[in-house]
Amino acid sequence: MVNTQLFHTAKGALLPAANARNEAGGAAYRLSPKHQLAQLAATGCLNQTFYASAQDQLAQVQALAMQVEPAFVAKTALYARQRGHMKDMPAVLAATLAVRDVALLAQVFPRVVDNGKMLRNFVQIVRSGAVGRKSLGTRPKKLVQQWLCTATEAQLLHAAVGNAPSLADVVKMVHPKPQEAWRAAWFAWLIGRPFKLEELPPLTQAFERYKSDRTLDIPDVPFQMLTALELTANNWAQIARQGSWQMVRQNLNTFARHGVFKLPGVAQAVAAKLRDAKAVAKARVLPYQLMAAYTATGADVPHVVKEALQDAMEHALANVPQIEGRVVVCPDVSGSMSSPVTGYRPGATSAVRCIDVAALVAAAVLRKSRDAIVLPFEQRVVDVALNPRDSVLTNAAKLAAVGGGGTACSAPLEWLDRRKAQADVVLLVSDNESWADRARGRGTATMQAWEAFKQRNPRAKLVCLDIQPYATTPAAERTDVLNIGGFSDEVFKLLALFAADVLGAGHWVGVIEQEVL
């Protein structure tokens, strides 16, 4: 008679066998080349992460971009830039198209290279030789020329801030042929050639006049152009009043250091700017950037300004849709989640960690779905008491304070199953490097735990939100499992669509495929 202990009948559908090892050595499923590219484009910043170096990420992107068709590369670049608000990866993908398909590059260039920083990124990536060529080539050169010859004065001034390469380097490289007299004069001014002051456009002309006469009003130019000059507290206050929303958000400590907030009414004016809902939407600010600004503010930044950052956070999350049904959010608080969310970068490493972003996602979902269950986990589920009425930043701080331990993505699913819990959507927010759980038989431990949970919740859906750029997942993609990467508000929209059964075939990759070239 057959050994029924050895050949017992498996419950539920036959699980797919794990076909990969993740970066931590755990059993995992390898994502398809398209999905891997999408994951890297939405989460990768080409800096060292907990498990991978920047060079490894770049090599992986290059290999994947050569495997998939050029049209998908172009669509991924568009998605990562316009919806994921990424910078490095869209520029890398655009540069790849300069080698593979310049006609497609021309189609997406204006939407991917949508400001001067992206233009300089694109030029530097191409000329570095990293994508297989060191010269721009005829068509890409014309695209760069076109950007330079159609940008507004304000766009050109912002593009002129920064190096490696500088905008002057780019102009010398591509030799734009401007049609307007003011643009020709501006290019001459930029690269240090003779120019006539009266031919410069208004802002640049005002800047030159201000350098000669400090009694004039400060021109509305990027503040970095003014920092080499001797400025008073009143001058800095004017910069704060007329600066862009993002610039003000990034320089609160600088304003405090220069005595701006000691002047009457300035703190209130800055606070009003920061909490302006339309300005927040226009700035395309990521929630984690507001968290970074809030946690980085020094003691000299007034409380009214810090409160305005919390208001801005609420505005930034205002469009987070409510997820239908019973929701469980599981933020990973293991040791690897202590790494910077945008990777290690000498001299410029973000203070925001992966665990902060995971906590922020959980707190944001809790704000919209107040009956949601939040299960922080590492090797086990960690008990943290949260109040849905608290601010998103307050709840995020409570979750982010946990930290440590190994990673077992199966832990919250097993916790739910032991308690015979009911849920419609389970969201895992992790770097997906599950290794501390142990699978028994076919599939990963996460899929085994999910299949057991599904026995009592047959309509439930699982979402694995990856916030670090790796190529594997503990949960195989199928009709009830969505793997997605990123930390923009776009992930909330896709999460809601998936929960409501309106996400099409191919899930997240399918959404990218629908991008219009």
Tell me: the pLDDT tens digits for 188-197? Answer: 999 999 999 9
Confidence category of residue 7, pLDDT binned at 50, 70, 90: very low
pLDDT for 406 equals: 92
* 81 pLDDT tier (thresholds 50, 70, 90): very high
CA 323 – CA 389 distance, rounded (Å): 18
pLDDT at residue 479 greater than cutoff 90: yes
Is the confidence at residue 254, as pLDDT, over 50?
yes
In angstroms, rounded to a whole number, what is the distance separating the alpha carbons of residues 433 and 431? 6
Residue 193: C-alpha distances to residues 180, 190, 333 (Å): 17, 8, 56
Separation CA 35–CA 299 (nearest Å): 44
* Mean pLDDT of the 277-289 span: 84
According to the model, what pLDDT value does residue 347 have? 67
Question: Given this model, what pLDDT does residue 286 score?
Answer: 75
DSSP state of 32: P
Question: Which tens digit of pLDDT belongs to each residue from 441-452?
Answer: 789 999 999 999
Q: What is the dihedral of CA 238, 239, 245, 250, to 10 degrees?
A: -130
Between 373 and 6, name the one with better pLDDT.
373
- pLDDT > 70? residue 8: no
For range 11-25, the mean pLDDT: 80
d(CA 474, CA 134): 39
> Which tens digits make up the pLDDT trace of 386-411?
888 888 888 888 888 887 889 999 99
Closest to 76 (Cα-Cα) out of 117, 30, 119, 44: 44
pLDDT at 284 over 80: no
In three-state secondary structure terms, 78 is helix
Own/partner long-range contacts of 201-204 (Cβ < 8 Å, ≥24 apart): 201/153, 202/153, 203/153, 203/154, 203/157, 204/153, 204/157
- Give 108-111's long-range contacts (Cβ < 8 A, gap of 24+): 108/74, 108/77, 108/78, 108/517, 109/143, 109/147, 110/147, 111/78, 111/81, 111/82
Report pLDDT digits (tens) over 109-134: 999 999 999 999 999 999 998 888 88
Which domains are delineated in the chain? 35-218 (no CATH), 222-316 (no CATH), 321-513 (3.40.50.410)
Say if residue 279's pLDDT is above 60. Answer: yes
Position 350 confidence tier, pLDDT thresholds 50, 70, 90: confident
Residue-level pLDDT at 153: 97
Q: What is the C-alpha to C-alpha distance for residues 320 and 497, in angstroms, rounded to an integer?
A: 12
Close Cβ partners of 439 (under 8 Å, ≥ 6 residues apart): 18, 27, 445, 448
pLDDT on residue 450: 96
pLDDT for 397 equals 85
Lowest-pLDDT range, 2-6, 154-158, 330-334? Answer: 2-6
Q: Report pLDDT for 273.
A: 96
pLDDT band at 251 (very low <50, low <70, confident <90, very high): very high
Under DSSP, the state recorded for 166 is -
pTM equals: 0.88
For residue 3, the model assigns a pLDDT of 57
Please give the mean pLDDT across all residues of the chain.
89
Distances in Å between the Cα of 502 and the Cα atoms of 497, 505, 507, 508, 511 are 5, 9, 10, 12, 11
- Cα 514 versus chain centre, distance: 21
Under DSSP, the state recorded for 176 is: -
Confidence of residue 6 (pLDDT cuts 50, 70, 90): very low
The pLDDT of 22-32, averaged and rounded, is 92
* The pLDDT of residue 132: 84
What is the separation, in whole angstroms, between the first and last Cα of the chain? 63
Look at residue 12 in the predicted model and tell me its pLDDT: 42
**Percentage of the chain with pLDDT > 90?**
60
For residue 394, the tally of other CB atoms under 10 A from its CB is 13
